[in-house]
Structure 1
Amino acid sequence: MSRLTLEQRRAQDAWDQSTGYTKDHVNIAKSLPALIMNSGLMQVLAFCHEKGGANDLVASQLRTWLVKRSNGDGARDPGFEGFMQDLMKASPADYQAITAEAFAWLRWLRQMAPARVKGD
């Protein structure tokens, strides 16, 4: 079996994470890249945490992916506070790389999420 490319792993993860999504989740997935572009990753993660519900779920899935990319496939979501602490300690280059990876994963989630929603 061939090794999956990074794009294939992003696509697979986005597909897996969007299982059971509703239209609310889809709308959040579609809006996050623009929010991050305008406000920044940490600000958007804080916003999603504060909003709770579907917002916090999608943010948690994004955090989990970002941790997997940096720590390996077995990594888990460190939670909102732990992840935010790590971002605050990150070098500017690392923070930029994490943000770029967030955009790359969200590109897939934006496409996969609507395909998983039943009963349009």
Structure 2
Amino acid sequence: MAQTLDQKRAALAWGYASAGIQAHGKSYKGLAKGASMLIMNSGLMPTLAFYNGKSKREPTPEACLLNDLMAGLVQRLNPTPTPRDFAGFMNFLQKMESCDYLRYTDEALELLKWLRQFVDAVPQPAEGGQR
């Protein structure tokens, strides 16, 4: 039986939420909960650029969320050619038609809808491991 789009997004978001919470705890949770509003207020590309700017020292929760968003968009929308890094992804977004850019923005918001819910639901790391 085929999966619905929401099931596919949920599966992606569950994996990202689990890994993000495990690695960064409450910091990742806060970023994931606020990312949708940041995209709606500033736009997709400015939001990705903001997270990239905060990702200079690895590993950061911002770098984790940035990578999750880019990987989720690539996996869900299967762009050709597939951007391999942040600069390539931004260049890819800059050159696309406006209707495609809106599709990427909508997909990011849909993925974040699931991610925002799942960061509360995934198992939390032990008290000593949370940041």
Q: TM-score, normalised by structure 1?
A: 0.90
- SS state of the match for residue 106, structure 1? helix
Structure 1 3/10 Cα, relative in aligned 2: closer, same or farther at 3 Å?
Answer: same
Structure 1 77/109 Cα, relative in aligned 2: closer, same or farther at 3 Å?
Answer: farther
Q: Tell me the matched-pair count.
A: 117
How far apart in 2 are the matches of 1:58 and 1:70?
18
Deviations 1:60-118 (A, max 9, x none): 1111111112218xxx8722111101000010000001000000000000001121251
Q: How does 1:99-110 map to 2 (within 5 A)?
A: 99-110=105-116
Partner of 2:51: 48
Q: Is the 8 A contact 1:63 1:77 kept in 2?
A: no
Verify: 1:71 aligned to 2:67, yes or no: no
How far apart in 2 are the matches of 1:117 and 1:25?
14
Q: How does 1:90-105 map to 2 (within 5 A)?
A: 90-105=96-111
How far apart in 1 are the matches of 2:31 and 2:13?
14
CA RMSD of aligned residues (A): 1.9
Q: TM-score, normalised by structure 2?
A: 0.83
Given residue 31 of structure 2, which amino acid in structure 1 is its aligned partner? I
Partner of 1:12: 11
- Structure 2 unaligned spans of 5+: none
- Equivalent position to 1:25, from 25, 28, 31: 28
Comparing 63-72 with 34-43, which one deviates more in the overlay?
63-72
Between structure 1 and structure 2, the one with the greater Rg is 2
Percent of aligned pairs with the same residue?
Answer: 38
- Equivalent position to 2:88, from 82, 103, 107: 82
Moved over 6 A (4+): none
Given residue 58 of structure 1, which amino acid in structure 2 is its aligned partner? L
How far apart in 1 are the matches of 2:83 and 2:70?
6
